[in-house]
Chain A
Amino acid sequence: MAELNYGLSELALEIRSMMREFAQTRVKPVRAELDEKGIFPIDLLRELGKMDLMGLYIPEAYGGTFDGDSLPNIIAVEELSRVCIGVSVSFAANGLGSDPILIGGNEEQKKKYLPAIARGEKLAAYALTEPNAGSDAGSIRTTAVKKGDKYVLNGTKQWITNGGEADVYCVFAVTDKNRGARGVSCFIVEKGTPGFSFGKKENKMGIRASATRELIFEDCEVPAENLIGREGTGFIWAMKTFDVSRPGIAAQAIGLAQGALDEAVSYAKVRQQFGRPVIANQGLSWMLAEMATKIEAARALTYATVRTIDSGAKDYSKFSAMCKMYASDMAMEVTTNAVQVLGGYGYMKEYPVEKMMRDAKILQIYEGTNQIQRDIIGLALNKEYAGAAKA
């Protein structure tokens, strides 16, 4: 297949081929069952750990293989997503859950938690959302009150990916309710800590292999050393995490859409109507052409954003938001069209595209709805053109 030259490193190409084989041989045969029964893919994640693929974003000093290039991890997410984003979100949520430690954690915290996560022996989760704090993440109500050398956590987190399955949770809680977003702090909470329990597992439209649960904190005592950074810096870690994690959502979208295109083109070539394959119909081949073009455009935007982040750029929130928004809107459109290309068969569970279409919807919602992404981009434009208006 012809490919654009993205100047991928040898490592990135190696990981792409490993993940492609893994997705085809290990994930594809079980994805329908994982989806149907809502089974968390713990065996697949453990196997990825043994293959050294769970620590692609973790520096070598903490047991991973990250060498300053984030594309290998992005491409791993993309390849896994090409087959199942229920599995790929369970994989990628470890990065999301580890990022606050990577970005804001001290040496002891990094040494204590990251190596086991890199080996795939422990899973991580990121806990920000609450029943009344979604897009308005600054309005969270979970509290953390200092008591001697401990913090006492109370509150409920909602829709936490890898909830119940993860061993290490980065939990955001209010330490000073008078300071709004600046009164939020981030804590590492280990599974099994007294006072920390799980609510119901959600029954979802898509990404059904992934575990989405409530986290409940009832007088849960966390050692003060588990505070990430200083008190009041939590919101900074939360937002910085999103800036680096949003290209990962874009990667999921690109992989998912690519998988849907793979199915749609293959089907259109063999499905005969009126005595010829349906791909010979211009109306349908133009649909496929647009799907393929939009996928490549999203990939180019995402890879360029990742390279910009890796280059040490300070201001990249706008681009992270752009690639997340564009790629996920694209994935919704492409998967919907893939179902259309397969017609009645596409609507049936015997074919994978109906799952892909159900799965795609979440990409427009989680890690900041696409409306929030547009807000971020709009805000950046407003700021960037502040001087221009005067000139």
Chain B
Amino acid sequence: MHIVVCLKQVPNTTQVKINPETNTLVRDGVESIMNPFDENALEMALQLKEAHPGTRVTALTMGPPQAADILKEAVGRGADDVLLLCDRAVAGSDTLATSYAISCAVRSLGSPDLVLFGKQAIDGDTAQVGPGVADWLGIPCVACVRKCEIAADGKTATVERVSEDAYDVVEAPLPCALTVVKEANVPRMASLRGKMAARKLAIEPTTAAATGADPALLGLAASPTHVVRIFSPPAKTGGAKWEGLEPAEAAQKLVAELKNRKLV
């Protein structure tokens, strides 16, 4: 079995601040990390590899040269191969153009049985690229998966798709794409030998042209989504705060107030 895991390098959002004048992210001095949901996707791939001997895991990312760092991290944890799609032609791509570029990169790897994504990236939060890639590839996609089992004949995947208060058990024919949620697993840490191998690895970037992508479908020009304005919402003001009340007294007062405003 061949599994491709698509990873994204993102700023560590726990450290990011927004410049209140320009409303843009202040990225200076913020470390870049592997998108946390993608870590779960990678872990799912590695667990499937352990359960199905002979499985190969390829880690794929699209980004600037320094995105090679997350591919090295993936190798440290047990990925077998990497692909770094690094090309000015894809700069400014929205989720549609990005999905196309990644789908071409996936296709250039042959015909993988499973394409895994994190549920969403913590910077853009769109959750569109995984399903988008599946669409470009013409394969089924199950989003928000927490568990995946591959049938012994290697023809179907049985997965658990989570929603807010329940989960569905879904069977999908391979090849298919899955987007993985956080509760799927606890991502492993890289091994010492894996880190040593990763350090020696020289990652050659791949261009979009080398993956057979049509230049007309890449980059800013091929992106119908335009960001009109980014702003941080103003902090909430007003409200009332009652202090020093006994819990029972506070509850009564709250209910009375809600009734008064006809909210309950």
Partners in one complex: yes
When the two chains form their complex, are residues B191 and A52 in contact, meaning their CB atoms are under 8 A apart? yes
Query: In the assembly, what is the distance between CA of A47 and CA of B191, in Å?
Result: 10
When the two chains form their complex, are residues B189 and A18 in contact, meaning their CB atoms are under 8 A apart? yes
B220 within 8 A of A: no
When the two chains form their complex, are residues B191 and A14 in contact, meaning their CB atoms are under 8 A apart? no
Interface size class of A (residues with CB under 8 A): 10 to 19
Which of A15, A47, A50 has the most chain B CB within a 10 Å cutoff?
A50
| Chain A 1-20 interface residues, beta-carbon cutoff 8 Å to B | 14-15, 18
When the two chains form their complex, are residues B192 and A14 in contact, meaning their CB atoms are under 8 A apart? yes
When the two chains form their complex, are residues A22 and B193 in contact, meaning their CB atoms are under 8 A apart? no
Query: In the assembly, what is the distance between CA of A26 and CA of B189, in Å?
Result: 10
A53 within 8 A of B: yes
When the two chains form their complex, are residues A21 and B189 in contact, meaning their CB atoms are under 8 A apart? yes
B195 within 8 A of A: yes
When the two chains form their complex, are residues A15 and B192 in contact, meaning their CB atoms are under 8 A apart? yes
A133 within 8 A of B: no
When the two chains form their complex, are residues B188 and A18 in contact, meaning their CB atoms are under 8 A apart? no
When the two chains form their complex, are residues A52 and B188 in contact, meaning their CB atoms are under 8 A apart? no
When the two chains form their complex, are residues A50 and B192 in contact, meaning their CB atoms are under 8 A apart? no
When the two chains form their complex, are residues A52 and B189 in contact, meaning their CB atoms are under 8 A apart? no
Which of B188, B190, B191, B193 has the most chain A CB within a 10 Å cutoff?
B191
| Chain B 161-190 interface residues, beta-carbon cutoff 8 Å to A | 188-190
A51 within 8 A of B: yes
When the two chains form their complex, are residues B195 and A50 in contact, meaning their CB atoms are under 8 A apart? no
Q: Per a CB cutoff under 8 Å, which of A21, A25, A26, A50 touches B191?
A: A50
A65 within 8 A of B: yes
Query: In the assembly, what is the distance between CA of A14 and CA of B191, in Å?
Result: 11
* Chain B residues with CB under 8 A of A53: 192
When the two chains form their complex, are residues A22 and B189 in contact, meaning their CB atoms are under 8 A apart? yes
When the two chains form their complex, are residues B192 and A47 in contact, meaning their CB atoms are under 8 A apart? no
Query: In the assembly, what is the distance between CA of A51 and CA of B192, in Å?
Result: 6
C-beta contact mask, A152-181 vs B, less than 8 Å → 1, else 0?
000000000000000000000000000000
* Chain B residues with CB under 8 A of A26: 189
When the two chains form their complex, are residues B192 and A65 in contact, meaning their CB atoms are under 8 A apart? yes
* Chain A residues with CB under 8 A of B194: 52
Closest to B188 in A: A50
Query: In the assembly, what is the distance between CA of A214 and CA of B118, in Å?
Result: 49
Closest to A17 in B: B195
Query: In the assembly, what is the distance between CA of A22 and CA of B187, in Å?
Result: 12
* Chain B residues with CB under 8 A of A51: 188-192
When the two chains form their complex, are residues B188 and A14 in contact, meaning their CB atoms are under 8 A apart? no
Query: In the assembly, what is the distance between CA of A137 and CA of B195, in Å?
Result: 43
C-beta contact mask, B191-227 vs A, less than 8 Å → 1, else 0?
1111100000000000000000000000000000000
* Chain A residues with CB under 8 A of B195: 14, 18
Closest to A21 in B: B189
* Chain A residues with CB under 8 A of B190: 18, 51
B202 CB to nearest chain A CB (Å): 18
* Chain A residues with CB under 8 A of B192: 14-15, 18, 51-53, 65
* Chain B residues with CB under 8 A of A14: 192, 195
B36 CB to nearest chain A CB (Å): 13
C-beta contact mask, B51-68 vs A, less than 8 Å → 1, else 0?
000000000000000000
* Chain B residues with CB under 8 A of A65: 192-193
A269 CB to nearest chain B CB (Å): 21
When the two chains form their complex, are residues A47 and B188 in contact, meaning their CB atoms are under 8 A apart? yes
C-beta contact mask, A56-97 vs B, less than 8 Å → 1, else 0?
000000000100000000000000000000000000000000
* Chain B residues with CB under 8 A of A25: 189
B72 CB to nearest chain A CB (Å): 13
* Chain A residues with CB under 8 A of B191: 50-52
Query: In the assembly, what is the distance between CA of A138 and CA of B188, in Å?
Result: 45
Instruction: Name 6 interchain pairs, CB-CB below 8 A, sorted by A.
Output: A15-B192, A47-B189, A51-B190, A51-B192, A52-B191, A65-B193
Given contacts A18-B192, A51-B189, 14 further A-B contacts (CB under 8 A): A14-B192, A18-B189, A18-B190, A18-B195, A22-B189, A26-B189, A47-B188, A51-B190, A51-B192, A52-B192, A52-B193, A52-B194, A53-B192, A65-B192
10 closest pairs, A vs B, by CB? Answer: A52-B192, A52-B191, A51-B191, A52-B193, A51-B189, A65-B192, A22-B189, A51-B192, A53-B192, A50-B191
